[in-house]
Structure 1
Amino acid sequence: MLTLPTLAKVSNPAKTEVDVINVSNAVQSEITVVNLIDLPMSNPDYFPLLLANQILGGGSESRLFMNLREKHGFTYGAYSSTGAGRFQSKFSANAAVRNEKVDSAVVEFLKEINTIRTAKVSAEELQNAKNLYNGSFALGLENPARIAGFASSILINDLPKDFYRTYLQKLNAVTADDILRVAKKYYNHDNTRVVIVGKTEAFIPGLKKAGFTVNQFDSYATPVTAAATTSTATTKAAKDVIASYIAAIGGEAAIKKITSLQQNGEMDMEGNKLTVTMKNMAPNSNSMEISMMGQTAMKQVFNGTTGYAMQMGQKKELTGDDLTEKKEEKGLVSQLYYATDGWKVESAGTAKVGTADAYKLAITSPSGKKKTEYYDVKTGLLLKDEKTVTKGTVEISQSTEYGDYK
């Protein structure tokens, strides 16, 4: 007989709470509505919950998907999952949502969860869910590994030996009343957790306006107080912030004497060590090379006018936005040129970077590319920059933090 350890049960919150973690350069926010459940697979509620989950968020025809994507356009997809087994598990519903629509998306998530808890599903929804499971179960029997998985599941979850022999019989016996009963029992509404990871400044005001109490945490789940996330420093003119930075790193005259700069680094990717070499030469020529085991994996070169990128032996000329961005880079310290050539620098208030108070500047390049820079109030030094780059149709958020100045 297989003996598994006994773990203490963890409680759900007494009242629904919204817990947020800030990722200041996030383009989208990840929303997860989650509550813990206790559902052994031997429990008769197991089969009704399989179908309840399918109807609520099991696929592209589910209620969450049709609401958040098809009706409102908040996300590319919204789904749910319901765990089961010997140990405490969870029900969760999730989606990646545009920052400015987080508050509305949370309302819709809770609305759909509450609806399936309080009103019977239609006969059509129930039959469609059953049809999907009947078909996938039959197809799965063609895979020997699936059958072996059934055997191990019976052992691990202490199931009757005929559990999978009677699987479809029990599934097809589920009624709309069963769905309503288990949804109300296992899918929490008034005592659930809504966890959101994203750009908090973009959605916290909306959540509070919608009536939610918001708890803030750092990336290690340590509570963050409002004072820790809000800078008390007085705003400073953007040109003065830049001037302080230039002075802090040695002054304009000293910087202009620098004609070249080389940076060397290493990084690990899937267990492989990559060597990175970046070279810059005044006024705006640069190159970057990434190599592995002495062989060049990727290289990019710009001579001030034209350039190319080479990867896996394939060479491609820089064009479009990539070329424009390179041409806009001036000098080895770009801040020296923020007052020229159509650059726009605006104060965006103050913020916290770690424990440091920082001036926040919104930077717009001549071509309209935007980024945000944070400068230490005390030292004037650059602490962090954030920007979003587009590769094809994909937007990628990039954040770089600076420290250990010497």
Structure 2
Amino acid sequence: MKQITTAITFCLIIANNFVFSQTTEEIKAKEIIEKSINATGGKELLSNIKTLYSKSSTVMDGRNVNYITKEMAPNLGSFEIEYEGRIVYRSWFDGKTGYETVNGQKKIADQEEFKDKHDRKYIMNEVAYLDSELFKVKFIKTDKDEKLNQVEATAKDGSITNLYYDTESFLLKKEEKKNPNKSSFSTILCTDYKKFGELTYCSKNIFKSENGDQVVSLIDLKYNKDIKKSDFKF
């Protein structure tokens, strides 16, 4: 019996040391993400958001345009560009295949652009970051001067998103997305938040680019209403 007890104790020590060494950074990252979830409405609210509609305004090629996005759990989504009340471009994913409409013509789009859609399970990204089947997260550092906590989230396809959360409010302030497979990199800043119902959501984004920054201001946001599966059919 003593030998069995000793063996079990030894195994528990090894297991505890392994868990600690493997998940210290992950645990801290998830704590920060959970605090961000609480700051934006709570885990119950974010987990129960099954559809999301947003309409934003921006300037493209000197013209005032609107961006319209629609999402439905687990992985349906569409993006539209509206100019003078008319949809001039649309791309969408029906859960299996990605499509686009250009100059009024519907066609199957480049499926590489929709590769990450197949693994989606949630509307709200922060909830997805906590799912170890979808993302591996780790705490990187705290920038005391900028007052930001940096968390790295690596998706199943190898793409990496660096998330920068305010150390006081825990609201997301910046995203840096890298996809080694596509040699792509993008930076998005969030400069303002507003409350829509019970949900606190980023209402002003700045998309950084070598060709000039693009400011996108949120006009309208709705969740769990006015979106149907038929919105994503070809």
Q: Same fold (TM over 0.5)?
A: yes
Q: Post-superposition shift, 1:396?
A: 4.7
Q: Post-superposition shift, 1:318?
A: 4.1
Match of 1:290 in 2: 81
* Structure-to-structure mapping, 1:59-208, within 5 angstroms: none
Q: Post-superposition shift, 1:389?
A: 5.6
Counterpart-to-counterpart distance in 2, 1:341 and 1:299? 30
- Structure 1 runs of 4+ aligned residues shifted over 6 Å read none
Q: What whole-Å deviation, never above 9, does each CA across 1:372-403 have from its counterpart, x for those lacking one? A: 11111111211111114689x77453323242
Secondary structure in structure 1 of the residue aligned to 2:193: coil
The alignment yields a C-alpha RMSD, in angstroms, of 2.7
Match of 2:117 in 1: 326
Q: What whole-Å deviation, never above 9, does each CA across 1:83-102 have from its counterpart, x for those lacking one? A: xxxxxxxxxxxxxxxxxxxx
Alignment identity in percent?
29
1:357 aligned to 2:147? yes
1:335 aligned to 2:129? no
> Structure 2 residue aligned with 1:348, among 137, 140, 146?
140
* Structure-to-structure mapping, 1:21-36, within 5 angstroms: none
Q: What whole-Å deviation, never above 9, does each CA across 1:183-219 have from its counterpart, x for those lacking one? A: xxxxxxxxxxxxxxxxxxxxxxxxxxxxxxxxxxxxx
1:245 aligned to 2:36? yes
Contact kept in structure 1, 2:160 and 2:179, CA below 8 Å = no
Counterpart-to-counterpart distance in 2, 1:321 and 1:371? 18
Counterpart-to-counterpart distance in 1, 2:179 and 2:102? 19
Q: Which has the higher helix share?
A: 1
Secondary structure in structure 2 of the residue aligned to 1:367: coil
Q: Which has the higher strand share?
A: 2
Contact kept in structure 2, 1:345 and 1:361, CA below 8 Å = yes
Counterpart-to-counterpart distance in 2, 1:245 and 1:327? 25
Match of 1:404 in 2: 193
Counterpart-to-counterpart distance in 2, 1:249 and 1:324? 28
Distance verdict in 2 for CA 1:263–1:384, change over 3 Å: same
Q: Which amino acid aligns with 1:360?
A: Q
Q: What whole-Å deviation, never above 9, does each CA across 1:276-331 have from its counterpart, x for those lacking one? A: 11111222211110021233221111122222122233444244432221223331
Counterpart-to-counterpart distance in 2, 1:400 and 1:284? 24
Secondary structure in structure 1 of the residue aligned to 2:147: strand
Q: Which amino acid aligns with 1:305?
A: K
Q: From the CA coordinates, give the structure whose radius of gyration is larger.
A: 1
Q: Which amino acid aligns with 1:400?
A: L
Counterpart-to-counterpart distance in 2, 1:372 and 1:386? 5
Higher relative contact order (CA 8 A, sep 6+): 2
Gaps of 5+ in 1: 1-235
Q: Which amino acid aligns with 2:172?
A: L
Provide the TM-score with structure 2 as the length reference. Answer: 0.63
Contact kept in structure 1, 2:174 and 2:187, CA below 8 Å = no
Counterpart-to-counterpart distance in 2, 1:387 and 1:276? 20
Counterpart-to-counterpart distance in 1, 2:110 and 2:62? 33
Q: Which amino acid aligns with 2:189?
A: T
Provide the TM-score with structure 1 as the length reference. Answer: 0.38
Gaps of 5+ in 2: 1-26, 196-234
Distance verdict in 2 for CA 1:381–1:371, change over 3 Å: same
Q: Post-superposition shift, 1:341?
A: 2.0
Counterpart-to-counterpart distance in 2, 1:303 and 1:402? 32
Contact kept in structure 2, 1:345 and 1:364, CA below 8 Å = yes
Counterpart-to-counterpart distance in 1, 2:132 and 2:170? 21
